Amino acid sequence: MVRFLIPSVAVLLFLLEPEFAMLSPIEMKGDIYYLVPRFLILYLIFISIYYSRQRAVMYGLFFGVLYDVFYIDIIGLYSVLYPLICFLAGSIVKVIHQHLVVTTTISVILVAILEFILYQFFYLIDFTAIPLADFLRSRLLPTIIANALFLMILGWAFKYLINARVLQRAREVS
């Protein structure tokens, strides 16, 4: 049961992202703020940290291709960035302590890096012309806050689910 739960949660998060994206951009006192939901990659980072780096990279590749084809029509962008972020997360965790607070912080930082690389890419190919300061204020900061909130609410659930799977696998092996 738990075995299938992990990929189904990933699929669900993938399908929920655009629904949450419809709430954005929000207008506050004349300023526009963009909240980009990055639920799936946060979940994949958790898989990479608590379960298996290799598995996370494979999920990252699969969902990256889907994301590229369905949403942005630039094939090769997310399909590289998602696995890369998962790989980084899995590598970082080998040198630090796996406490939930620490992993949450790392996840949010990695999402910020992802967001920044994407901004640089779209700036390079002239899809956007907003200056760096505007990007930081109207996109990066709100996105980080929203995703950090999401992770604070559901991070423990992810960890619980993944741990259940790890235990199940340990039982199967023994």
Partner 1 sequence: MPHFFFNKKVILLLVGMVFLVALISFSLRDRTNATLPEQIIKDTVGVAQSLVAKPANYINGIFNNIDSLLNTYEENKRLKARLEDFAVVQAEATDLKSENTKLRELLNKSESLKAFNPIHATVIARNPDQWEEKIILDKGSSHGVEKNMAVMTAKGLVGKIILVTPFTSEVELLYTNNPNYRVSAMVLGEKEAYGLIEGFDEERNELIMKRIDSSLTVKEGEQVVSSGLGGIFPKGVPIGEITEVSTDDFGLTKMAYVKPSADFSILEHVVIAKRTSTVVDGSDGNATNEDLSNPQKKASEEEAE
Tokens of 139: 């996109």
Residue 112's Cβ-count burial label (10 Å; 0-12, 13-18, 19+) is middle
Q: Is 137 in the site for partner 1 (CB under 8 A)?
A: no
Q: Which is closer to partner 1, CB of 50 or CB of 82?
A: 82
Q: Is 93 within 8 Å of 63 (Cβ atoms)? A: no
Nearest approach, Cβ of residue 123 and partner 1 (Å): 10
DSSP readout, 94-142?
TTS---HHHHHHHHHHHHHHHHHHHHHHHHHTTS----HHHHIIIIIHH
Cβ proximity to partner 1: between 69 and 96 the closer is: 69
Number of residues located near partner 1, criterion CB under 8 A: 42
DSSP state of 73: -
Q: Binding marks (x or -) toward partner 1, 29..68, rule CB under 8 A?
A: ---x-x-xxx--------------------------xx-x
Burial of residue 24, with CB atoms counted within 10 A of its CB: 0-12 exposed, 13-18 middle, 19 or more buried: middle
Q: Phi and psi (nearest 5°) for 51? A: -120, -85
Q: Which is nearer to partner 1, 72 or 136 (CB)?
A: 72
Q: Candidates 98, 127, 141, 152: give the one binding partner 1 (CB under 8 A).
A: 127
Q: Smaller CB distance to partner 1: residue 30 or 99?
A: 30
CB of 93 to partner 1, least distance (A): 20
Please, which of residues 69-88 interact with partner 1 by CB under 8 A?
69-77, 80
Contact residues toward partner 1 (CB under 8 A) are 11-12, 15-27, 32, 34, 36-38, 65-66, 68-77, 80, 118, 122, 125-130, 134
